[in-house]
């Protein structure tokens, strides 16, 4: 049996704003509307379906594997927007990036405090 993640729901206070924020930061096409969702399609066929939450939002963590060139572009957008960012998930290394497993990574918060991460190498893949 083969299983692939197809989509997940991202609860948000303002789905259009949150979906647009993510798409712009990652350099993806603009979100599209499907039913009551604002959909951000990733390059591997997985979709993030942003939906309106009527109650408090439990922040989640979403990590995106990107190329080195795309990392530079995302980091530049983080700087342009003046977004706080960290090298670690505990937020102990503000204003830094990490170089784990021979790649680069950075964490930042989205509009509803979902903790977003971009990285250029999957963790545990350092050949050294």
Domain ranges of the chain: 1-52, 60-128
Same fold, 1-52 and 60-128: no
| Residue 45, both tokens | 């066929």
- The DSSP H or E segment spanning 75 is helix 68-81
Q: Class of the 1-52 domain? A: alpha beta
Beta strands of 27-66 (E only): which ranges? 32-34, 37-41, 47-52, 61-65
pLDDT in tens, the chain (128 residues): 899 999 999 999 999 999 999 999 999 999 999 999 999 999 999 999 999 999 999 999 999 999 999 999 999 999 999 999 999 999 999 999 999 999 999 999 999 999 999 999 998 887 55
Which is nearest to 33 in space by CA: 9, 14, 16? 16
Residue 9 confidence (pLDDT): 98
Residue 128 confidence (pLDDT): 55
Q: Could you tell me how many residues make up the chain?
A: 128
- What own/partner pairs with CB < 8 Å and gap ≥ 24 does 124-128 have? 125/101, 126/100, 126/101, 126/102, 127/102, 128/102
- Other C-beta atoms closer than 10 Å to the C-beta of 77 total 15
- What own/partner pairs with CB < 8 Å and gap ≥ 24 does 84-87 have? 84/108, 84/109
Residue 127 confidence (pLDDT): 56
Residue 61 confidence (pLDDT): 97
| Cβ-contact 68, 104 below 8 angstroms | yes
Q: Class of the 60-128 domain? A: alpha beta
């Amino acid at each position: 049996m083969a299983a692939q993640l197809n989509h997940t729901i991202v609860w948000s206070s303002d789905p259009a704003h949150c979906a647009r924020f993510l798409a712009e930061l990652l350099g993806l096409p603009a979100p599209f509307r499907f039913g009551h969702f604002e959909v951000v399609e990733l390059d591997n066929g997985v979709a993030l379906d942003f939906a309106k939450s009527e109650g408090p939002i439990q922040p989640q963590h979403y990590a995106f594997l990107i190329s080195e060139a795309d990392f530079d572009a995302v980091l530049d957008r983080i700087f342009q927007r003046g977004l706080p960012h960290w090298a670690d998930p505990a937020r102990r290394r503000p204003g830094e990036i990490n170089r784990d497993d021979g790649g680069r990574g950075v964490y930042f918060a989205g509009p509803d405090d979902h903790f977003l991460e971009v990285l250029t190498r999957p963790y545990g893949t350092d050949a050294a």
